[in-house]
Amino acid sequence: MYELGDYIIYGNHGVCKVEEIGSLNISGMDKSIECYTLQPVFSKASTLYTPVDNDKVSMRKVISNEEATELLKQIPDAPLLWIENDKQREEAYKEALRERDCLDWVKIIKTLYVRKQERLSQGKKLTFTDEKYLGIAQDFLYGELSIAMDIDKDEVENLVMDCLEQLNAV
């Protein structure tokens, strides 16, 4: 069970802060069900409610500062999700995003960084699908690392890009 003030990854909503824990005073709602009231950190427009024992939506605590720092060190050695077939590649990205694992997000970002460099050298841009999954993976990863390391998302992006640009120097 999470505590008040904890930051968690909740489904496709990214980082959320646990604002309240308890029954909801909403008509038609079973008052015996204990729920989390969650505030998405990077989208203040909505508030989410979910049962504490919800096993249908993935929830986990945000990684620690130490884990975030270690993850950044792993970027140069993280394997690529290199799949030539467009449909199979999209499925691999979807599966990696479903897992809600930071290293999987790194793999997507790294793969698409390398793919983008390759396509740019051919005078091409990333495909719409690649851009879509790159954006989702970046949003998830940068949001989580921002909270874990207590820095702005833009700073996280700069740290990740520094790691990726080291690939070009090799």
Q: What are phi and psi of 43, to 5 degrees?
A: -150, 90
Average pLDDT over residues 17-23: 92
Q: Where do the structural domains in the chain lie, given as residue ranges?
A: 7-61, 65-169
Q: How much is the pTM? A: 0.89
- CATH of range 65-169; options 3.40.640.10, 2.160.20.10, 1.10.3720.10, 1.20.58.1290: 1.20.58.1290
Task: Output the pLDDT for position 66.
Answer: 97
- pLDDT per residue over 74-86, tens digit each? 999 999 988 888 8
Task: Output the pLDDT for position 46.
Answer: 87
- pLDDT per residue over 106-152, tens digit each? 999 999 999 999 999 999 999 999 999 999 999 999 999 999 999 99
Task: Output the pLDDT for position 68.
Answer: 97
Task: Output the pLDDT for position 169.
Answer: 54
